[in-house]
Amino acid sequence: MNRFVVSDPSRCIGCGACRVTCSEAHRKRALRPASRISLVKTRDVSAAVTCHQCEGAPCLSVCPEGAIYQEGDRLQVDEARCTGCLLCALVCPFGAVYPSSPSTAHVKAAPYSRASSARSAGLLRQKETGAYTSVVVCDLCAKAPDGPRCIAACPTKALSLMDEGALSHLARERRIDAIEKTNVAMQGTAQLAELLAAEAAFEAADVDEEARP
């Protein structure tokens, strides 16, 4: 099953540590430096949005060059093959495919970089350097030893890795919740106290069950 990074908006403080970490972690591994995680801020929400490593990945299926491929349970971009056509970015349902030009602006000992952080200036820069865009997608930091760096960097622990175990744990909690709600709806509130007691017992039993190896 695919694994992916998810974000808890009630914990996100919009600080961008995940984005910088993503960019740095890939740059240090000689990959394109664009962040593979984005930060969405609306009036009421701040949250990171990430690639879901879809098994039936639309980005992979539309790539005319075969530059995106699946490696085990995750996606990888072959930067040398990518032509920068951005078809994959058009079809990604999460907006999680990012064009990345080589970062020339801020490397060590390149003191007089282009001033602007505008997107348009990025395009100008590529022409000057003769390099063009490659897309990047989250690779779960496959080349780093300890898994996704963004999760480690988040100071509020808003990011976590959703995998089969985490998903089934979450589903189990939801189902227990659902049982309670269904029962309440079917049997009426008079029996609520009894149900809650039953649920507590159920949970205790559940804990016992989980405690067993």
Partner 1 sequence: MEKHMAVCPYCGAGCKMNLVVENGLVIEAEGLDGITNEGELCLKGLYGYDFINDTRILTPRIYHPMIRREKGAPLERVSWDEALDFTASRLRAIIEESGSEAVMLTGSSRGAGNEANYVMQKFTRACLGTNNIDNCARTCHAASVIGLMECVGSGAMSVSIPVLERTDCILLIGYNPAASHPIVARRIVKAKERGADLIVCDPRVIESARIADLYLPLENGSNLALVNALAYTIIDEDLADWDFIDNHTEGFDAWWEVVQEYAPEDVADVTGLAPELVRHAARRYAKAPSAVVGWGMGVTQHAQGVQTVRAIAALALITGHIGRPNSGLAPVRGQNNVQGSCDMGMWPSLYPGYQRVDDPAVRAKFAAAWGVPEERLSLQEGWKLTDLPHGVAEGKIRAFYNFGEDPLQTEPDTAQMRKTLEGLDLLISQDIFMTQTTALADVVLPATSWGEHDAVYTASDRSFQLTTAALLPKGECRHDWEIFADLSTRMGYPMHYENTREIWDEVRSLCPQFAGASYEKMAGLGYAQWPIYADAADDPDNHGTSELYAGGAFTTPDGKGHLQAAHWRPPTEEPDERYPLVLCTVREVGHYSCRSMTGNCKALAALADEPGYVSMSPADAEARGIEEEELVQVTSRRGKIVARAAIDERINGGAVYMTYQWWVGKCNELTLHAVDGESGTPEDKYSACQVEAIADQRGAEERLAEAYAELKARLAAEADRQNPPENAEPAADAADPNSVILSEGGAAAVVEGSRAATANNSSDPASSSPPPSAFAPHEAEVAGRALYADGEEETLV
Could you say which of 109, 186, 207, 211 contacts partner 1 (CB under 8 A)? 109
Size, binding site for partner 1 by CB under 8 A = 50
Q: Point out which residues pair with 145 in neighbouring strands.
A: none
| 70 touches partner 1 by CB under 8 A | no
116 binds partner 1 per the rule CB under 8 A: yes
Between 169 and 208, how does the x/- string for binding to partner 1 read (CB under 8 A)?
----------------------------------------
Say how many residues make up the chain: 213
Contact 74, 2 (CB under 8 A): yes
Type of residue at 191: Q
DSSP 8-state symbol, 75: E
Burial of residue 104, with CB atoms counted within 10 A of its CB: 0-12 exposed, 13-18 middle, 19 or more buried: middle
110/107 Cα distance (integer angstroms) = 6
What is residue 69's DSSP assignment?
E
DSSP state, 132? -
Q: Does residue number 10 form part of the binding site for partner 1 (CB under 8 A)?
A: yes
Residue 7 or 21 having the CB closest to partner 1: 21
Among 38, 70, 83, 103, which residue interacts with partner 1 (rule: CB under 8 A)? 103
Considering only residues 72 to 101 of the shown chain, the ones binding partner 1 according to CB under 8 A are none
Can you give the binding site for partner 1, defined by CB under 8 A?
Answer: 10-17, 19-21, 23-24, 27-30, 33, 41-46, 102-121, 129-131, 153, 155-156
